[in-house]
Amino acid sequence: MLLHLLCLASASLTLARQSEFSQEIKTLTGSERLITTDSAVPTVSLPEDESSIFVSGTASIPDLSTTSNATASITSTSTKESLTQIVGGTRTTGASGNMTTSSTTTSATPTNTQPCNNYPEFCSRRYSNITEVCAHNSPFVRKNNAASNQAIGVTQQLNDGIRMLQGQTHMVNGTLHYCHTSCDLLDAGTVEDYLREVTDWLDHHPFDVITILFGNGDYAQTDANGKPLVTAVDFVAPIEKSGLKRYIYQPPKTHMKLDDWPTLSELIFLNKRVVTLIDYNFDHEAVPWLLWEFYNMWETPFSPTGNSFPCDLGRPEGLSREDQEELLYMANHNLNVEISIADMHLLVPNYVQLNQTNGVNGTGSLGEMVQTCTARYARPPNFLLVDFYNEGPFNGSVFAVAAEANNVTYDRKCCGTASDAAQVSATHLSLVIAIAVCLVLF
């Protein structure tokens, strides 16, 4: 342990001495992440519809089929706050989901044009019929820290249009923290503090629905009896203490197909505007509202190091093509560079190519991947996972890609002021590698 601390201290001292002479440049920066092993790819056998239904505790969905075009006031079932009725918009039907324009039924122009998730058109769409941008490792924003995946904090992420927040957690002395592979590399603070900031944003944005995907970084740790040490149960305390619990939607089933999800307006009427997912060690009996990701969503291959970005099934294994067509899916579109040190393999986001990676067209672009996946599955991805969402050929390029997938026009301003997290020098990247060496050797 002493050698471990001395090694880390030496690395930090090296940084302090060199930072005076090193010019900050844009280079290969970002997170150090262990390459996902085969053991981290679960094999899923989806439950039958009847066996996935919760016995109790589900929220009822109001009947909105008779709503008129008049502006009205309703009372939220959970907070008793007065909300403006959301009506109108365009409903789309057909296999191509939110991309199709071939078969539409357009209601009369609504007198209320209040947007849901920034677009009035989204209010009448199902949660499963919208493409949103996901901030990969949303909490990992640190000035002059090469372990960052984002350059802007979570409040501004949400202000800019991010509607899915993902991050890796680790247990530190009995408290869940957002840490990147090791808390020695980047500790972004407690999960509770992060969620409290998210809750504050939700308090002030009553017409927005977000998704939170928890990455359980300690999923493989077990006790002497082989039982997992960190499960969904450990997330209850920070979620409840942050105040987020009151906004979380509990679906009627553990396994939600596309047509099972409510519309955004229905979630907003209920004031249950947060969907929570966990990647490993779910517990639907103890925590029914924290859904297992892979009962409800699949992903394309994760952490690619090439710019082909295939639309194949990455996680979980065992899904048939029919299963894929009935679930949400996420396109992982974060380009990395692999660094090998001893037996440790790190994936470092390729910051240099972000203009192309987060672009709307061209080889390796986010736009190209969305088009490819849409053509393959007759519907676009529900979530687009990206690093440094504020970077691209123009401000808001990733949101422009999502807007095109949604058949709406992106005309918002983006993005908030970035910290220096994205302006990482080669010296700081060297520090991350030096710390990694310390962790390997000691």
What is the token pair recorded at 366? 């986010």
Task: For residue 331, list its beta bridge partners.
Answer: 384
Nearest to 135 by CA among 106, 156, 165: 165
Instruction: List the one residue out of 389, 379, 318 whose CA is nearest residue 149.
Output: 389
CA torsion angle for 43, 45, 46, 47 (degrees, to 10)?
Answer: -140
- Using CA atoms, how far residue 172 sits from 1, 55, 139, in Å, is 17, 35, 16
Residue 428 appears among annotated catalytic residues: no
Phi then psi for residue 402, to 5 deg, are -65, -40
What gap in Å lies between CA 133 and CA 381, rounded to an integer?
10
Phi, psi at 238, each rounded to 5°: -65, -30
Active-site residue, selected from the candidate residues 170, 180, 333, 428: 180
342: left (phi > 0), else alpha (psi -120 to 50), else beta? Answer: left
Size of the chain in residues:
442
CB 32 within 8 A of CB 137: no
CA distance 409 to 402: 10
User: Which residues, 6+ apart, have CB-to-CB distance to 21 below 8 Å?
Assistant: none
Active site residue 170: no
Active site residues: 136, 180
